[in-house]
Chain A
Amino acid sequence: MPSQQPTESVLNPIVIVGAGHSGVAVAAGLRSRGWEGDILLLEAEKEAPYERPPLSKELLKAGAPDESTVLRKEKFYHDKRIDRRAGLTVDAIDPAGRTVELSDGSRHGYHRLVIATGSRARSLTVPGAELPGVQALRTRDDALELKRALVPGARVAIIGAGYIGLEVAAAAAAKGCDVTVLEFQDRVMSRVTSEPVSRFFERLHEQNGVRFVFGAAVTAVEGSDRAERVVTADGAAYPADVVLAGIGVVPNQELAAEAGLQCQDGILVDDDGRTSVPGIYATGDVTRFTSTIDGASQRLECIQNAMAQADRVAADITGQAPADPEIPWFWTVQHGVRLQTAGVRHPDDDVIVRGTPAEVKFSVVYLRDGRLAAVDTIAGLTDFRPAKKLIAQKTRIDPLLAADPGTPLTDAAFAAS
């Protein structure tokens, strides 16, 4: 991509569109890297930027306070001279004039523009999806609405057995709801993990009263004035007071696409977060990029990536070296059991289970061409940190040694790799 041409006045601010994890981290990173120019941070939501992971976990628990955990206290934005404007969106970008037009009609020139608009929950599109009682979970308002609906005895139908669906299933079951999870695939979390891990979490949920229906193709939500049941293609109907759709996310790329930035299910960016248009960066969930590890084109919907990309953007803008790349990692907690993953597994990786899934604590390593590509750790992090290093080094692993949980993962590496 063309190099930046810093010919325009740096009196213009760096404008950051979106104050989620990545947008806020760009602002913070610019300051910690010594950037002294103005920073304008725009956020569509009215309230101060907040943490999203707790929305599907801690916030839903009985007795948990409604207050969200803010990313940074007000004083931080003040002290760091970050001009944060809530309730404002960008209506249009003029890349040639290096200006943005905001939803309040004002125009702002920018020195650099950073698009950190994130993603939104994929909408359920079947008939009846608009009925009251049907919702997704992405924002704090979504979480509070869901929390109020999860009362003891409520019949909860969850569409999609991914992280969000399963975390909500766990929270709902803990609150005494009657929970059914409808999943099109034949196992939970099929996109992100292997069958042994799926089966372990299915048993864990079932022991806590959650029912699963696999191969379920939802065709409609029915009800007279609010959701009463979810109907599947085989004609079955599942009574529901609450319907949660956890069917993935969609990048908020429309603004960028309209301005002519190259997008392909995500704004295309290079290793430094540069888009196809000079002077404009993108970071976080909204981006698609080429993995430095396996060359795959990917969107990574995780905090680790949101923070790492933000750092690279801040480094590029300030002309400094970024931190070393980090292996992507992810976590979920369901019924108090943590699943933490390092690396991005492929469906045809070799799967080696370390330990016995019946004993709760175990891990699963994934080998690609004999080299460690990813690891899932369940209820224990012993393998997590060593695995991250071995993945980064694309280390060859002895599958027999790796299958023995008593052998440290590092000792399962072949000497010459």
Chain B
Amino acid sequence: MSNNKLTVIDREGSTHDLQWEPDQTLMEALRDNDLPVLASCGGTASCATCHVFLEKEVFDTLAERSEDELELLVDAEGYQECGSRLSCQLAFSQDLNGVTVTLAPEE
């Protein structure tokens, strides 16, 4: 599998173009490219420090959020019903090539 291209808008509004590698979750792709994603719990949907916004068209193509993920997100800053995800819960998929991801405000 080849890498996905990924566009990230950080908390200052700057844009970064990254490579998303097949063995990375979205959180890992962000963190390993030095974006300020804390991911305190290590990707177990426990802390909401890897919260991102996806575009609605992309969001709608994904599987439903788990109960844990949703519970953490609904109280998170800037929660979007049709856009908020924990990036640790998004595995690589070629369907996500070229997506734009916005980092949510820090908790």
A→B interface (CB under 8 Å): 31-32, 51, 53-54, 57-58, 69, 71-73, 75-76, 79, 303-304, 307, 331, 333, 338, 380-382, 384-385, 388
Contact = CB atoms under 8 A, between A and B. Distances in A.
B23 interface: yes
Interface in B59-107: 71-72, 75-77, 107
Nearest to B42: A51
Interface residues of B, number: 21
A316 B60 CA distance: 44
Interface of B: 21, 23-24, 28, 32, 34, 38, 40-44, 46-48, 71-72, 75-77, 107
A303 B41 contact: yes
A54 B44 contact: yes
14 contacts: A51-B42, A54-B42, A71-B42, A76-B32, A331-B41, A333-B46, A338-B71, A381-B75, A381-B76, A382-B75, A384-B107, A385-B75, A385-B107, A388-B107
Contacts of B28: 73
A57 to B, nearest CB: 7
B71 A303 contact: no
- Closest 6 A/B residue pairs (Cβ): A51-B42, A32-B34, A381-B75, A303-B40, A382-B75, A76-B32
Contacts of B38: 307
Contact of B44 (A31, A58, A304): A58
Contacts of B77: 385
B23 A73 contact: yes
Given A76-B32, A331-B46, A385-B107, A53 B76 contact: no
Contacts of B71: 338, 380-381
Contacts of B23: 73
Nearest to B48: A381
Nearest to A72: B32
Q: Which of B23, B48, B107 has the most CB of A within 10 A?
A: B107
B34 A385 contact: no
B13 to A, nearest CB: 19
B66 to A, nearest CB: 12
Nearest to A58: B44
A32 B32 CA distance: 9
A209 B103 CA distance: 42
A57 B44 contact: yes
A159 to B, nearest CB: 26
A385 B44 contact: no
Nearest to A71: B42
B24 to A, nearest CB: 7
Given A381-B71, A381-B72, A382-B75, A31 B41 contact: no
A53 B40 CA distance: 10
A58 B66 CA distance: 15
Given A69-B44, A338-B46, 18 more contacts: A31-B34, A51-B42, A53-B46, A58-B44, A71-B42, A73-B28, A75-B21, A79-B32, A303-B41, A303-B42, A307-B38, A307-B40, A333-B46, A380-B71, A380-B75, A384-B75, A385-B77, A388-B107
A25 to B, nearest CB: 10
B84 to A, nearest CB: 13
Contacts of A307: 38, 40
Nearest to B39: A307
A58 B41 CA distance: 12
A51 B28 CA distance: 14
Nearest to A303: B40
Q: Which of A54, A57, A381 has the most CB of B within 10 A?
A: A381
